[in-house]
């Protein structure tokens, strides 16, 4: 994948943009580690460390005429350009905040499709295996963070903050951040891991069995250790998708049923270990308290999820037609505009559709929401067609895309990075183009 010397370059037109995608991936995983432990003094600029890489990937793809052109990309780019002007002239008036907000539509959204073109199916499978390898040390780390005080080095916050990077959890325990800046990265990381782990449960012949078992154990440990309800639901949804795929093929059910029994026995075994018992109790406490405060599962789905979606439109009548301005609903935008590291008051940046409509206004907000939703409908149709020919890879990546691309919090850099990266991997899973054999020549 990587050349040993800068004196060589590949004749494969996808080589450099593909190299950039791998750099983007590792920066996504370790950006928080850089900001918290390695280079805390550069924590603020490192927040945008992936943006230059994304620009470089798109430039190299453009140079080789590998950028796809479709209605989704064109529409999003138009929204990105127009929203910068409306933010400056009709909204908050800050050009830097407008650029920060509009880069989502101008840079990251097209990147998803570039990844879909550059990566082959073989690259996706390699990506999945590397991801599974990373899950093992990640699980060790979040376990250490879970049981360590917030003042411990492993829990040090962004910029070397000794107050810790953990987020409130339950029973005096905090949600661990892993190698990320905040705990939300852990939720995204393991949500995507579930797709790859369950896929290889259906295709055990093409994966190292020890790696698969270790990844399954890592996922099972991470659910209670993370104290993230969303991860629990995501794993459950992905498991349902795996069962639906297995039901179509009796031979697979003969593999899946013993695997489920083994998984259940593994949970029982883990539950005998004190560290897992404590984590499970904390997770259960968090789950119970949060559900009671939000009216149970119905309240979570009805108020927090569906209610937030509906509120984006009902509140639109109270907002300016062109919105308050791109970037205003993000932490970075709020900091630049008010000096406070929190979402700007008039926009609920934690609920994506409200942020989008609040920033862009009803017209452009609806365009963005419509495109993100339609893309997932297309993903579902294409994945189902693949499922009909016993190709399970797109189908198993689909659950992550369905729950994150339409309403993922793209105003936050880490979830944005994961959603775009996994969305690109999803597109690439349909790509049956064979890997070009890399040849090198003297530069």
Residue 81 above 80 pLDDT? yes
**Closest Cα partner for 16 from 51, 68, 58, 67?**
58
440-442 vs 8-10, strand pairing mode: antiparallel
187: CB partners within 8 A, 6+ apart = 226, 228, 230, 231, 234
Please state, in angstroms and as integers, the Cα–Cα distance from residue 308 to each residue in 190, 414, 419, following that order. Answer: 24, 21, 20
Bridge partner residues of 441 (DSSP):
9
- Identify the pLDDT of residue 291: 63
Helix, strand, or coil (residue 4) = coil
CB 12 within 8 Å of CB 113: no
What pLDDT does 151 receive? Answer: 87
- Name residues whose C-beta falls within 8 Å of residue 200's C-beta, 6 or more positions apart in sequence: 128, 132, 206, 207, 212, 215
pLDDT band at 6 (very low <50, low <70, confident <90, very high): very low
State yes or no: pLDDT of 305 exceeds 60. no
Cβ pair 142, 189 in contact under 8 A: no
Q: Helices (DSSP H) in 34-148: which residue ranges?
A: 43-46, 50-63, 71-89, 95-103, 109-118, 121-147
Measure the CA–CA gap between 341 and 331, rounded to whole angstroms: 6
Residue with tokens 């994304």: 54
pLDDT at 440 over 70: no
pLDDT of residue 260 exceeding 90, the answer is no
Average pLDDT of the residues of the chain = 87
**Number of alpha carbons in the 13 Å side-chain half-sphere of residue 412:** 23
For residues 433 and 294, give the distance between their C-alpha atoms in angstroms, rounded to a whole number. 48
Would you state the pLDDT for residue 8?
A: 40
User: Is residue 434 predicted with pLDDT exceeding 60?
Assistant: no
Q: Which band of pLDDT confidence, cut at 50, 70 and 90, is reported for residue 202?
A: very high
DSSP secondary structure code for residue 175 in this structure: E
Residue 344's pLDDT is what? 53
What is the pLDDT at residue 137? 98
Instruction: Give residues with Cβ within 8 angstroms of 411, minimum separation 6.
Output: 101, 104, 329, 330, 331, 343, 349, 352, 355
From CA 79, how far away is CA 267, in angstroms rounded? 48
What CA–CA distance (Å, rounded) separates 76 from 82? 10
pLDDT above 90 as % of the chain: 64
Q: Please tell me the pTM assigned to this model.
A: 0.91
- pLDDT tier at 404 (50, 70, 90 boundaries)? very high
323-365 residue pLDDT tens: 999 999 888 888 888 876 555 556 776 789 999 999 999 999 9
Residue 317: DSSP 8-state: G
């Amino acid at each position: 994948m990587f050349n040993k010397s800068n004196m060589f370059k590949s004749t494969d037109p996808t080589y450099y943009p593909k190299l950039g995608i791998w750099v983007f991936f590792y920066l996504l995983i370790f950006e928080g580690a850089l900001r918290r432990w390695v280079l805390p003094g550069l924590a603020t600029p490192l927040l945008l460390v992936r943006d230059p890489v994304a620009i470089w990937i798109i430039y190299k793809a453009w140079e080789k005429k590998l950028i796809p052109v479709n209605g989704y990309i064109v529409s999003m780019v138009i929204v990105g350009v127009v929203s910068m002007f409306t933010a400056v002239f009709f909204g908050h008036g800050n050009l830097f905040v407008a650029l920060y907000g509009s880069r989502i539509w101008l840079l990251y959204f097209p990147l998803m499709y570039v990844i879909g073109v550059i990566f082959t199916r073989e690259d996706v499978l390699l990506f999945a295996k590397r991801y599974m390898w990373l899950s093992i040390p990640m699980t060790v780390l979040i376990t250490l963070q879970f049981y360590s005080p917030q003042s411990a080095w492993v829990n040090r916050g962004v910029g070397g903050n000794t107050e810790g990077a953990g987020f409130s959890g339950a029973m005096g325990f905090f949600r661990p951040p892993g190698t990320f800046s905040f705990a939300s990265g852990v939720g995204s990381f393991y949500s995507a891991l579930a797709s790859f782990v369950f896929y290889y449960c259906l295709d055990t012949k093409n994966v190292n069995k020890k790696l698969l078992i270790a990844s399954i154990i890592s996922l099972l440990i991470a659910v209670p250790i993370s104290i993230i309800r969303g991860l629990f639901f995501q794993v459950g949804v992905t498991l349902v998708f795996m069962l639906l795929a297995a039901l179509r093929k009796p031979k697979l059910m003969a593999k899946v049923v013993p695997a489920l029994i083994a998984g259940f026995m593994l949970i029982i075994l883990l539950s005998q270990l004190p560290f897992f018992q404590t984590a499970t109790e904390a997770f259960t406490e968090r789950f119970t308290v949060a559900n009671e405060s939000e009216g149970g599962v119905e309240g979570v789905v009805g108020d927090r999820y569906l209610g937030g979606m509906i509120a984006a439109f009902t509140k639109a009548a109270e907002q300016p037609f062109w919105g308050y301005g791109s970037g205003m609903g993000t932490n970075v935008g709020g900091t630049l505009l008010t000096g406070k590291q929190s979402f700007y008051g008039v926009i609920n940046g934690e609920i994506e559709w409200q942020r989008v409509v609040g920033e862009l206004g009803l017209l452009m907000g609806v365009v963005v929401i419509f495109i993100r939703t339609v893309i997932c409908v297309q993903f579902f149709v294409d994945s189902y067609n693949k499922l009909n020919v016993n190709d399970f890879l797109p189908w198993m990546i689909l659950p992550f895309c369905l729950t994150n691309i339409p309403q993922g919090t793209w105003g936050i850099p880490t979830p944005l990075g994961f959603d775009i990266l996994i969305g690109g991997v999803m597109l690439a899973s349909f790509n049956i183009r064979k890997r070009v054999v890399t040849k090198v020549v003297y530069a």
